[in-house]
Amino acid sequence: MEKVKAKKHLGQHFLKDLSAAKRITELYQGPKKVLEIGPGMGVLTQYLRERTDLDLYLVEIDKESVAYLQHQYGYTDEKLFDADFLQMNLSERLNTEGDFGIIGNFPYNISSQIFFKVLDYRDQVKEVVGMVQKEVGVRLASKPGNKDYGILSVLLQAFYDIEYSFTVPPGAFDPPPKVDSGVIRLVRNMDKKLDCDYKKFKLVVKTAFNQRRKMLSNALKPVSAQQEFPYANKRAEQLDYLQFAEITRVLFPNQ
Is residue 9 situated within a structural domain? no
The strand pairing partners of 43, in sequence order, are none
Residue 219 lies in a domain: yes
CATH at 21: 3.40.50.150
Residues 9, 215: Cα–Cα separation, whole Å: 42
Which residues contact residue 53 at a Cβ distance below 8 angstroms, ignoring those fewer than 6 apart? Answer: 32
| Whether residues 221 and 98 fall in one domain | no
Mean pLDDT, contiguous 10-residue spans, the chain (255 residues): 40 86 98 97 97 98 95 94 97 96 95 98 98 97 96 98 98 94 97 95 98 96 94 98 98 89
User: For residue 189, with 0-12 CB atoms within 10 Å meaning exposed, 13-18 middle and 19 or more buried, which class applies?
Assistant: middle
Q: Are residues 110 and 182 in the same domain?
A: yes
- For residue 185, list its beta bridge partners: 129, 163
In a domain, 193, yes or no: no
Residue 242 to residues 145, 168, 239, Cα–Cα distance (Å): 15, 32, 8
Domain membership flag for residue 217: yes
Question: Does residue 161 share a domain with residue 89?
Answer: yes
Q: Are strands 14-15 and 173-174 parallel, antiparallel or unpaired?
A: antiparallel
Same domain, 106 and 165: yes
Please give the order of strands across the beta sheet that includes 100-105: 80-82, 55-60, 33-37, 100-105, 125-133, 181-188, 160-168
Find how far residue 224's CA is from the centre of its chain.
30
Same domain, 118 and 242: no
CA-closest candidate to residue 48, choices 33, 61, 63:
33
| Contact predicate 131/24, CB 8 Å | yes
pLDDT for position 9: 44
The pLDDT, as a whole number, for residue 10 is: 43
Q: What is the pLDDT of residue 255?
A: 77
Domain boundary among 188, 207, 231: 188
CATH number, position 235: 1.10.8
Query: Residue 8 domain-assigned?
Result: no
| Binding-site residues from annotation | 13, 15, 38, 60, 84, 105
- Number of domains observed in the structure of the chain: 2
Q: Where among 188, 220, 238 does a domain terminate? A: 188
121 shares a domain with 36? yes
For residue 6, being part of any structural domain is answered with no
- Of 188, 212, 228, which marks where a domain is finished? 188
* Residue 156 shares a structural domain with residue 209: no
Rounded CA-CA distance 61/38 in Å is 7
Q: Are residues 56 and 153 in the same domain?
A: yes
In this structure, are 211 and 183 located in the same domain? Answer: no
In whole angstroms, what is the distance from residue 66 CA to residue 140 CA? 30
Closest C-alpha to 57, from 72, 45, 40 = 45
State the amino acid at position 163 in one-letter form. E
Give the residue numbers spanning the domain of 127.
14-188
Sign of CA dihedral 30, 57, 20, 50: positive
Same domain, 155 and 219: no
pLDDT for residue 1: 36
Within this chain, do residues 82 and 142 fall inside the same structural domain, yes or no? Answer: yes
Q: Is residue 130 part of a domain?
A: yes
User: Quick check: is 2 in a domain?
Assistant: no
Q: Contact at 8 Å (CB) between 40 and 60?
A: yes
Could you tell me which residues are annotated as the binding site for S-adenosyl-L-methionine?
Answer: 13, 15, 38, 60, 84, 105
pLDDT at res. 64: 94
Under a CB-based contact definition with an 8 Å cutoff, are residues 183 and 26 in contact? no
Q: Are residues 233 and 110 in the same domain?
A: no
> How far apart (Å, rounded) are the C-alpha atoms in residues 208 and 212?
6
